[in-house]
Structure 1
Amino acid sequence: MERAAQDRRPIFHVGVHKTATNWFQKCFYPRVPGYRYVDRRLVRSTLLAHSPLAFEPERVREELGLDADCPAIICEEDLSGVLHNAGLASNYIAKEMANELAALAPQAQIVIFVRNQQAMAASCYHQYLREGGTGSVHRYLFPEDYIHLGNVRPLKNPRFDFTQFEFDRLVAHYDSLFGEENVHVFAYEQFAQDPEAFLAMFAEDLGLTRPESVKQRKYNRSFRRALVPVARMLNLLTRRSVADKRTLVHIPFWYPVRTVLLEGLNFVPLLGKRPSPRDLLGGSIYDWIGQRFWESNRALEGRMGVDLSEWGYTTEEPAVPVPRPKRSSLFAFAKH
């Protein structure tokens, strides 16, 4: 009880994407006794909808109610970058948001979830399709093979960028601002493997009183195998909502209709099982991603004090280098 009283400070859960943040926002944080969960719309309008050059800490503190007697919980994954625009958002916005949060409440507790990068890439692609994407896995993950990004101005186009998966860098920046003892880093796989045991540990670590009952509902399930090409086809009929896509013709109001249709079909077993990350990405991409992040994961493993390899994270240098998956030289030159 003494620790709980001492740790009744603001809690900023900053993501990252695809690590059950929707579940925490809808099922967990609003039910935590003694804390006030701040609505996501207010968080976005005060922290993400303004120019960083116009940031006024005192005004934002007042709008978010950070000086109220009841401590606030903010959970917003866009604070660690906007999905599908990582080249700009996850590298620049993530750093700026961390700096602004430190200016708002330097005493706050920070929550960061990480996830196996291969599973993360597959989950991001599923989300890309759910939001209207039309590209293949390779086109989504390696946009530089398809878009004339330029050598010195790659941020001109919204696109995926693997640097958003270098979680050790994000954690290190928050450590430098808030102190390592105030930055709580968890693996998504810990939660997925045993939610009950994890939530008990999670509440203890943050000094929270765990809600008496929470629903173990899954949000944003991956598409079934046969539904993936169907989603890409249906998405050709709407401009919404991702920027990196193709549109044959925009049919007004088709986007919400398409959403209902796809989510309904996703419950039909005849459309096959949900593909594993390796099956969805393909062996060459899957293996290359593992190689790409072994050094980042080793640093992260040391920071967290857990064996990340237990959940499939690559933490050792591969014995045989894995070449980056590429298109043929002819198609790569065409950038189409």
Structure 2
Amino acid sequence: MNFDRANDSEKMTSADADFADILIHIGYHKTGSTYLQDHCFQPINGYSSNIGGSRARIVKDIAFPDNFSFDHTICRRLYLPYIEAARDKSLRFVLSHERLSGYPPSGSYDRMLIADRLVRTFPAARILIVVREQISLIRSMYSQYITDGGDLSLDRFLETPEPQLGRMPGFRLEVYEFDRLIRHYQELFGRVLVLPFEMMMRDLEGFVCRITEFMEMPPPTSVPKVVTNSRRPATMQVVQRLANRLMSNNELSRGGIVRIPHFARRFARMQPIFARLTPQSFDDRLHSNIDRNIRAFVAGHYRDSNNRVIELTGLDLRIFGYMT
């Protein structure tokens, strides 16, 4: 703990401690966040995630500001009206955005900074972290990177050229050493719930009930079983990655030759076409090849970290196929 944070803790008032009734869900990306936001964290289940606009403002208010311009007191004032409105309705306020755990294609370089901003803004809040087996997670995140507009091949995505120079942030394996972020949040907030994405897939109701128990709430009223983000055909991602290089102009792929506004969003409309034209067996083979390449790159990197997660959380990650 640095001296600034220690001084903040000493100045903590009783009003600050009131944030113990709110939940901050930080992700990770590709771990069912959309389902939780759209179907779990709703008034019917005793939650309010209303922040007066889209969830994108969470990134704008907390993750985006420059290091020297972020002010936790101003940030807190922005959200207090919504926290109080939730309390008036006997609802638990939820701040949920996977970007709060960083952005993996850029190495989640600001994940520790965001954690420190959150504890200064909402001290004593309760934290939810959802993890996922790393091979599957990297594959899914790489696909999302292309969906977002990225144009790097898998090999270039995984291994940045001249990484020792550190001039531009890029993906690094350390992003998914979950124990590091879990331990940091435990030290900052105390009450941290860690759940595996695979549990959501196997026992959705049990997964959601664990969250409500953590928040000391009655069982959820509604736990619909719906698919929120279906897997895109691998052929679609191959085509989009090449098209991004030519037609996209965003943070992930700058300066396309033919610049089409919101190209990634427009391309997404073609998913049904690719789904019809891609044989399932061929698609499965392409995904298996991606998994094999990721597994070869990762080797045994996450074994020690996963064992530390087991020690920190008591979760038996072995039953969910994690490397241990």
TM-score, normalised to structure 2's length?
0.81
Moved more, 209-218 or 77-86: 209-218
- Does structure 1 residue 272 correspond to structure 2 residue 288? no
Aligned 8 A contact 1:31 1:211 in 2: no
Distance (Å, rounded) in 1 between the aligned partners of 2:19 and 2:112:
25
Distance (Å, rounded) in 2 between the aligned partners of 1:226 and 1:272:
11
Q: Give unmatched runs, 5+ long, in structure 1.
A: 1-5, 316-336
Q: What per-residue deviation string (whole Å, max 9, x for no partner) do you get for residues 148-168 of structure 1?
A: 44x3x31x2242221111110
- Does structure 1 residue 174 correspond to structure 2 residue 185? yes
2:25 corresponds to: 13
* 1:245 CA drift (Å): 7.1
Q: Give secondary structure in 2 for the equivalent of 1:143.
A: coil
Q: What per-residue deviation string (whole Å, max 9, x for no partner) do you get for residues 37-64 of structure 1?
A: 1441332232123223233222222211
Q: What per-residue deviation string (whole Å, max 9, x for no partner) do you get for residues 18-50 of structure 1?
A: 111111112211235443214413322321232
Distance (Å, rounded) in 1 between the aligned partners of 2:206 and 2:277:
31
Q: Give unmatched runs, 5+ long, in structure 2.
A: 1-17
Aligned 8 A contact 1:135 1:245 in 2: no
Residue 197 of structure 1, aligned match among 188, 201, 206: 206
Distance (Å, rounded) in 2 between the aligned partners of 1:254 and 1:54:
32
2:168 corresponds to: 157
Aligned 8 A contact 2:235 2:274 in 1: no
* 1:210 CA drift (Å): 4.2
Report the residue type matching 1:68 in the other structure.
E
Report the residue type matching 1:25 in the other structure.
Q
1:63 corresponds to: 78
2:4 corresponds to: none
Residue 75 of structure 1, aligned match among 92, 96, 118: 96
Moved more, 29-38 or 290-299: 29-38
Pairwise mapping of residues 230-269 of structure 1 onto structure 2 (< 5 A)? 230-243=239-252, 247-252=256-261, 254-261=263-270, 263-268=271-276
Q: What per-residue deviation string (whole Å, max 9, x for no partner) do you get for residues 130-163 of structure 1?
A: 122232221211122xxx44x3x31x22422211
1:108 corresponds to: 125
**Structure-2 change in CA distance of 1:67 and 1:272 (3 Å):** closer
Q: Give secondary structure in 2 for the equivalent of 1:113.
A: strand
Q: Give secondary structure in 1 for the equivalent of 2:128.
A: strand
* 1:202 CA drift (Å): 2.6
Superposed CA RMSD in Å reads 2.7
**Structure-2 change in CA distance of 1:211 and 1:306 (3 Å):** closer
Aligned 8 A contact 1:17 1:78 in 2: yes
Aligned 8 A contact 1:128 1:242 in 2: no
Q: Give secondary structure in 1 for the equivalent of 2:195.
A: strand
- Does structure 1 residue 42 correspond to structure 2 residue 51? no
